[in-house]
Amino acid sequence: MEESYFTKSMDELNYEFYKFHTISEGQYIRLADEPLTFLERKAHNFERIGSTKNQTYLSSRDSSNHSMCSCHFKMHFLETLSNKHKNISTLIFGSLIDQMVHSYHNRVHNKFNQILLMPKIENCGWLGCYHPQGFTKLDNHLPIFENKYISHEHMQKISKSGIIFLKDAFKYLIKNSTGGTNMFNGWEEKISNAMQEFDPAIRLIIKESIDKSS
């Protein structure tokens, strides 16, 4: 599994996430000043190995360090993102495939999270993660691709690269789990089901990326 536009974008999103927590809450900080590298993510290198007064290694196994409620996301974190078009496209696609694996392949979901390593945006007031379609409706005043959160260019690039990442992840999970080689058969339809409530324009972009990857 090689580094790609999607994995690089996820690294940048993780960096934005940790940087925001450091500034807004003063609770934790990355020892590195650069976005996470692909090898760091692949190795799942977030284990808490100790801390000083101002510095702490984070653990993605500790959900309190790797999640945020949707209200906090929309009211505070969203406006701090340095590249909203790229980051929101990454959240849309990342949460879509995360939800698909959680819903249909829950037995390997934890292993998938170790590969995806995406900040979790949780529903405010009840259990579960924020639905992917929520990230497509951050601005209801302007048409899709005309607001400051989503661009056609980044959604297309993230989808194309993200589908390649997903297929590589399937190969990894088949190799490193007890499931059969056909465990992910029909994944295309499962993704389509998960994005039924998406804006048609975004749904079309993702569907075209799926079709081109076949």
pLDDT tens-digit readout, 28-76: 333 334 444 544 444 443 333 333 333 333 333 333 346 778 888 888 8
**More confidently predicted of 148 and 90:** 90
Residue with tokens 């000083």: 52
Residue 199: how many other CB atoms lie within 10 Å: 16
Residue with tokens 């990454």: 90
> Number of structural domains, the chain?
1
Largest CA distance in the chain: 51
Distance of CA 77 to the CA centre of its chain: 15
Average pLDDT value for the chain: 77
Distance of CA 2 to the CA centre of its chain: 17
Q: What are the structure tokens assigned to 48, written together?
A: 């808490």
Domain coverage including residue 120: 5-213
What integer pLDDT is reported at residue 26 of this predicted model? 39
pLDDT tens-digit readout, 116-147: 888 888 887 777 788 888 888 887 766 677 77
Q: Do 41 and 13 meet the contact criterion of CB atoms below 8 Å apart?
A: no
What integer pLDDT is reported at residue 27 of this predicted model? 40
What integer pLDDT is reported at residue 205 of this predicted model? 95
For residue 7, what are the β-bridge partners?
Answer: none
What integer pLDDT is reported at residue 35 of this predicted model? 47
Distances (CA, A) of 136 to 16, 46, 201: 19, 29, 11
